[in-house]
Amino acid sequence: MAVHFHEEDLPAGVLEGDSPLAVDTETMGLITHRDRLCLVQISDGGKDEHLVRFAPDSDYAAPNLKALLADPGRIKLYHYARFDLAAIEYYLGVMAAPVFCTKIASKLTRTYTDRHGLKNLVSELLGADISKQQQSSDWGGAELNDAQREYAASDVRFLHAMREKLIPRLEREGRMEMAQACFDFLPTRARLDMAGWPDHDIFSHQ
């Protein structure tokens, strides 16, 4: 297992194929328009994770990364896709779909708990432990330390295995079709967030 670090784009030919891609992002904060995209993590479920860092003055060209993210033939796996999709489209200009979101799948199947964080899922479904210590660290610094790189890599390391655990649960509970409809709606949900409706339920009577 190795964590590969890249500046501004993936090298040509990396992660070619048709397997699903686990994707995550690190930003300067939670307000997409204000808090720039600093890092994109991506893995094809093999032994390696790839981290792509963007500088404060980046033009976010990244043609190789964009081609992978925009490929309609490859499912993108996320934990809380809603945020990552918005950040990727706002800064990189591509909608990184189709989507499988482990957080939504968890909420549709693990109704016996309200703990749907990545750390909780990895622990229950895979019996592994991940550290969230670096979650609120400065991702825009001149250097990313080893702890930050490991944290970022761990955010995509387990998504393929969790998807394999969650799909049978969705099917068992008769919620696979509902889950897929949610996944298909996520690009629109992200765009609603960006357009100014992050909290208001446009389907409500009020």
What is residue 131's predicted lDDT score, i.e. its pLDDT?
Answer: 76
Q: Can you give the residue ranges of every domain in the chain? A: 2-137+145-195
What is residue 169's predicted lDDT score, i.e. its pLDDT?
Answer: 98
What is residue 130's predicted lDDT score, i.e. its pLDDT?
Answer: 87
Query: How is the chain classified by DSSP, letter by letter?
Result: -EEEEEESSPPTTTT-SSS-EEEEEEESSS-TTTS-EEEEEEE-SSSEEEEEE--TT-----HHHHHHHH-TTS-EEESSHHHHHHHHHHHH-----SEEEHHHHHHHH-TT-S--SHHHHHHHHH------TTTTS-TTSS---HHHHHHHHHHHHTHHHHHHHHHHHHHHTT-HHHHHHHHHHHHHHHHHHHHT-SS--TTS--
As a CATH number, domain 2-137+145-195 is 3.30.420.10
pLDDT one-digit tens code per residue, 153-202: 999 999 999 999 999 999 999 999 999 999 999 999 999 999 999 999 89
